[in-house]
Every structure is written in C-alpha cells, then in structure tokens.
C-alpha cells in the first residue's frame, strides 16, 4: 500500500495545527502572579532562587523549544525544565542577578503562550 505524499503532508499539517510555535494565541489572558512557596527546588538543584511558571497552551516539543529559547535569552535564568503535560516550567535563577517576575512574564508573552501564574519564594 502506497501513501501519497500529499496525504502525509496533510496529516502532518493537521497534527501541527494545534501547536502555537509562532505568534500569540488569538485571545490572551494573564493570570495572577502569586508569591507562593515554590516546589521547583524538588526538581532543580540550584544555588540561587527558583521559580515555577505555569504556562497554558503547550502542545508539542516545538512549544517547549520556543518557551526555552525565550527564557534562556533572559539574563539571570540559569536552568529550565518544562513539563509539557502540566505546563509547569521550573526555573533556576542566578543567585547574584536573578531575573525579575516581569522579565519572566515578558519572555512567556514573546513565546506566544499564556502565563497563568508564577510561584516563587
């Protein structure tokens, strides 16, 4: 059985349609930024502060790459771990010059996703 290349391209296009790797979603809402105890220290071993970002809309590995790329560009972000299923992004920050909440919020906005909240000590 032969599958036509057009069928493969169509199936791939449908599979990637849910991924938001470019541009913001049509409707954006930013949730509350909270100062709750972070659970990030359980997954990231860091010398400096840690934060957990809860991001809505992550759908594929390309989404992870996009979020990581934007966060790595922020001075003061040292390590990033993304859980695609839950939308949890654990971040280790520099002890000397940690990124601000606004810088983290802006990076998620640039990635095209919606930041639900930030949990940081």
Does the pLDDT of residue 112 top 60, yes or no?
yes
Q: DSSP labels for 2-51? A: ---HHHHHHHHHHHHTT---SS--SS--------PPP-GGGT---SS-EE
CATH of the domain at 27: 3.30.70.100
| Residue whose C-alpha is closest to residue 60's, from 110, 8, 112 | 112
Give the total number of structural domains in the chain.
Answer: 1
100: containing domain = 5-119
The model's pTM: 0.65
Q: What is the pLDDT of residues 38-89, one digit of tens each?
A: 343 344 555 779 999 999 999 999 999 999 999 999 999 999 999 999 999 9
Q: How many CB atoms sit inside 10 A of residue 51's CB?
A: 21
**115 with 54: CB under 8 angstroms?**
yes
């Amino acid at each position: 059985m032969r599958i036509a290349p057009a069928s493969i391209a169509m199936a791939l296009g449908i599979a990637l349609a849910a991924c938001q790797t470019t541009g913001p979603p049509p409707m954006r809402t930013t949730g509350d930024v909270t100062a709750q105890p972070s659970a990030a220290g359980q997954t990231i071993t860091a010398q400096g502060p840690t934060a957990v970002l809860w991001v809505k809309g992550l759908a594929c590995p390309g989404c992870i790459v996009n979020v990581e790329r934007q966060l790595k560009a922020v001075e003061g972000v040292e390590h990033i771990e993304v859980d695609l299923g839950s939308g949890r992004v654990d971040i280790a920050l520099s002890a000397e010059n940690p990124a601000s909440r606004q810088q983290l919020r802006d990076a998620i906005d640039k990635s095209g996703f919606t930041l639900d909240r930030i949990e940081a000590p």
